């Protein structure tokens, strides 16, 4: 039976771009009619194929976000290997026509690449030639570039039974026909009266599409929901944090779990949502029939505002296992009780079977924001081990008897500005990690970043929808902050980390110039691939980290690479397009922001394609003279941190668009842009609903102040204008 299915798929791929005579169609229909087959045609993904992703019939493909259900991002393909990777060259590329970050992992199924770009635009290509087969644009309103807390990112798509699934930024879950790119069905996953958004990739298994959401920084109540892959009908919903205990139960799959969670909260947390959003990682175990949910930070961040009389605040910063069929609670492990630093545990999770102390263990592994690498029993949630992989100021170690962190005396935020690490910038964020069963190592991008942190006085907190409601103090004691920030900048490091999860220790690290490197792919060819902040795509030996090949790509590939094979030729594909990792080092580097638009780039041995040259850099404009007093500038700094820093960088340095180096024309249009929506079509929508004219002008004056502080130094270094 499998042979006939594969023959059918081969015929479909081979004849995709040719007219199909009636006799050929009759023959194919005859094959289908004579056999009880699974799905066929484009994107013919089902449980059998996913459960046998490493079989001879399926090994050439990349059918889901992490390639396999365990999300190890390891490919058995080895035509490209440590002996010949130096011959790798560009086979083809496609300009994605965006300067936004491109974070998506492509899918490759039966010779076709399905890719996602900013604002959830999907395209299908012939994987060997790059010929574009179709494009689907869900028409996400560009206003969502600022309504979503972290920009219009899209980390991936899913495939099942001839359909591609898009979890749009605005909350729509959409099924698209894999052959034509036409919409099949759409359903709303949330209402827009709360500041939800979606940036993560949906997962599909056993005919169910599962997706979470983001928005905890702005203030929402996180949940995960599952839908019928054929119809879009909601099957179950699991809330991550409790609602108002005075209300009736939600009537959802999470009701029993909320009985556990509610006693761990105090005050009136539900007014600000509570947070806990599962904005990225979800993993499915078909043998245990469990879905693992990585949960996010609190809303607001500061625990003494959110839950004033204490409590662990379940299920913030946890892994929660639920029944895949019903969504009902099975177990949880909380990594950060009473989360207060914007630590999230939504980072990539992967499953593996490891021999630990002479016994094979079924484990789930994660390296979340808080700087510890965790190994848990994925059947029970029992903590097996946890060790820190970066310096930290919040926990000495994890107590193996209780599973709880042993917090340092200086861990909690005070009203006094102090240096903290890790920070909201994370020691490892959403960037995919990979595991090689050959080396036994997990590879992930990590970094050491420090931040000046303090909390506001609790009575001063005011919740504002669609704005960062952190509860953090961004402006007090500016002279002290400046000195501490200099120390923080001097400690900034970025690297690719190879980690031994059995012995919980570092095997090696590959240093980068700064934080901001991309997701990782591991292959049977003893290779790991990663995009770097040096604006290169690189390959290293998986066993020792030796650099074997790199290519300048005019941008920083931060997305997860994939590999596939068509007609006996192995390819490596990655999206380029940098965003999302503020770095003082990169902000100071002359010309670093001279970047190409985002691209899908595909490589093969002997590839000869060339990239077009970048347009010349412009000169750095002199900023206007500062006319505002210090009170206005400090208010602007606070508002910038709460409203603008996600896209435009901490302290107005770097970011998607470095606002310090606005042209005179942009300065003149500043109010029309910020309040009037003059650049809505470019994703810079109006903020008139949350900023007054006086507040917008304060932000403008703060940016002018920052530009004047840095301009002479940047000119001396020959920095480029944005």
Contact 553, 601 (CB under 8 A): yes
Peptide bond connecting 199 to the previous residue in cis, omega within 30 degrees of 0: no
Residue ranges, comma separated, of all CATH 2.140.10.10 domains in the chain are 201-429+451-490
Structural Rg of the chain based on CA atoms: 25
Q: Which two tokens stand for residue 638?
A: 């606070």
pLDDT, tens only, 358-409: 999 999 999 999 999 999 999 999 999 999 999 999 999 999 999 999 999 9
- What is the rounded distance in angstroms from the CA atom of residue 76 to the CA atom of residue 74? 7
Q: Which residues of the chain have pLDDT under 50?
A: 1-36, 719-722
- What is the rounded distance in angstroms from the CA atom of residue 541 to the CA atom of residue 522? 10
- In CATH, the number for domain 201-429+451-490 is 2.140.10.10
- What is the rounded distance in angstroms from the CA atom of residue 539 to the CA atom of residue 525? 11
Contact 344, 369 (CB under 8 A): yes
| Number of Cβ within a 10 Å radius of residue 330 | 18
Positions marked catalytic? 342
Nearest 10 degrees: CA dihedral of 634, 637, 639, 644? Answer: 170
* Beta strand residue intervals within 441-586, DSSP E: 441-448, 451-453, 493-500, 505-512, 520-523, 527-532, 536-541, 547-552, 562-566, 569-576
pLDDT, tens only, 344-356: 999 999 999 999 9
Record the pTM: 0.87
Task: List the end-to-end C-alpha distance of the chain, in Å, as a whole number.
Answer: 58
2-14 and 22-34 helices, crossing angle to 10°: 160
φ and ψ at residue 353, rounded to 5 degrees: -110, 115
pLDDT value of residue 643: 79
Q: Which two tokens stand for residue 130?
A: 């790059």
Element (H, E) at 377: strand 372-377
Q: Which two tokens stand for residue 623?
A: 């900023």
Residue 134 pairs in a beta bridge with: 124
Residue ranges, comma separated, of all CATH 1.10.760.10 domains in the chain are 630-717
pLDDT value of residue 128: 98
- What is the rounded distance in angstroms from the CA atom of residue 422 to the CA atom of residue 470? 16
pLDDT value of residue 519: 98
- In CATH, the number for domain 630-717 is 1.10.760.10
- What is the rounded distance in angstroms from the CA atom of residue 353 to the CA atom of residue 53? 17
């Amino acid at each position: 039976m499998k042979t006939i299915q594969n023959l059918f798929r081969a015929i479909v791929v081979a004849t995709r771009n040719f007219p199909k005579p009636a006799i050929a169609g009759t023959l194919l229909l005859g094959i289908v009619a004579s056999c009880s087959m699974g799905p066929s045609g484009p994107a013919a993904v089902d449980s059998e194929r996913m459960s046998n992703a490493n079989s001879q019939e399926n090994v050439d493909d990349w059918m889901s976000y992490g390639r396999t259900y365990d999300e190890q991002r390891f490919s058995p393909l080895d035509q490209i290997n440590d002996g010949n990777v130096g011959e790798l060259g560009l086979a083809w590329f496609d300009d994605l026509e965006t300067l936004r970050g491109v974070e998506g992992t492509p899918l490759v199924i039966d010779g076709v690449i399905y890719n996602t770009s900013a604002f959830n635009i999907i395209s299908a290509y012939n994987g060997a030639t790059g010929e574009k087969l179709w494009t689907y644009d869900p028409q996400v309103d560009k206003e969502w570039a600022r309504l979503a807390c972290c920009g219009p990112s899209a980390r991936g798509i899913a495939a099942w039974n001839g359909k591609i699934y898009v979890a749009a930024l605005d909350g729509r879950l959409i099924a698209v026909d894999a052959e034509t790119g036409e919409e099949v069905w759409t359903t709303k996953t949330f209402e827009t009266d709360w500041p939800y958004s979606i940036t993560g990739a949906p997962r599909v298994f056993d005919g169910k599409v599962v997706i979470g959401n983001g928005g905890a920084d702005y203030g929402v109540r996180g949940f995960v929901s599952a839908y019928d892959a054929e119809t879009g009908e909601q099957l179950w919903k699991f809330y991550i944090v409790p609602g108002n205990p005075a209300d009736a139960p939600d009537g959802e799959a999470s009701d029993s779990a909320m009985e556990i969670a509610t006693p761990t909260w105090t005050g009136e947390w539900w007014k600000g949502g509570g947070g806990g959003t599962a904005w990225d990682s979800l993993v499915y175990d078909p043998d245990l029939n469990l879905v693992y949910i990585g949960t996010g930070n609190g809303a607001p961040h500061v625990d003494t505002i959110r839950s004033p009389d204490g409590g662990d605040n379940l299920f913030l910063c946890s892994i929660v296992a639920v029944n895949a069929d019903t969504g009902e609670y099975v177990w949880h492990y909380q990594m950060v009780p009473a989360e207060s630093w914007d630590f999230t545990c939504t980072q990539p999770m992967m499953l593996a079977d490891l021999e630990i102390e002479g016994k094979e263990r079924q484990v789930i592994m994660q390296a979340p924001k808080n700087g510890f690498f965790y190994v848990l029993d994925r059947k029970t949630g029992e903590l097996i081990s946890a060790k820190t992989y970066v310096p930290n100021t919040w926990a000495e170690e994890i107590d193996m008897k209780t599973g709880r962190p042993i917090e340092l005396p200086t861990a909690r935020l005070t009203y006094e500005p102090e240096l903290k690490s890790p920070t909201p910038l994370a020691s490892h964020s959403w960037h995919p990690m990979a595991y090689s069963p050959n080396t036994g190592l997990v590879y992930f991008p990590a970094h050491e970043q420090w931040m000046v942190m303090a909390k506001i006085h609790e009575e001063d907190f005011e919740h504002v929808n669609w704005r960062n409601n952190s509860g953090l103090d961004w402006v007090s004691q500016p002279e002290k902050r400046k000195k501490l920030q200099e120390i923080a900048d001097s400690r900034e490091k970025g690297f690719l980390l190879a980690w031994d999860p059995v012995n919980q220790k570092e095997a090696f690290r590959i240093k980068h110039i700064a934080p901001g490197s991309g997701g990782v792919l591991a292959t049977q060819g003893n290779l790991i691939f990663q995009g770097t902040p040096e604006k290169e795509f690189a390959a290293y030996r998986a066993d020792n980290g030796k650099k074997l090949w790199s290519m300048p790509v005019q941008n920083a590939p931060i997305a997860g690479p994939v590999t596939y094979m068509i007609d006996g030729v192995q390819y490596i594909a990655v999206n380029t397009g940098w965003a999302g990792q503020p770095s003082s080092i990169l902000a100071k580097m002359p010309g670093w922001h001279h970047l190409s638009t985002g691209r899908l780039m595909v490589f093969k041995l002997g590839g000869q394609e060339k990239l077009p040259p970048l347009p010349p850099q412009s000169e750095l404009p002199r900023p206007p003279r500062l006319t505002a007093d210090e009170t206005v500038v400090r208010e602007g700094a606070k508002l910038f941190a709460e409203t603008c820093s996600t896209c435009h960088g901490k302290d107005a340095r770097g970011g998607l668009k470095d606002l310090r180096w606005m042209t005179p024309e942009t300065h003149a249009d500043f109010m029309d842009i910020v309040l009037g929506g003059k650049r809505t079509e470019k994703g810079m929508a109006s903020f008139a609903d949350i900023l007054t004219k006086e507040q917008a002008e304060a932000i403008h004056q703060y940016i002018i102040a920052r530009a004047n502080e840095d301009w002479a130094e940047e000119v001396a270094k020959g920095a480029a204008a944005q």
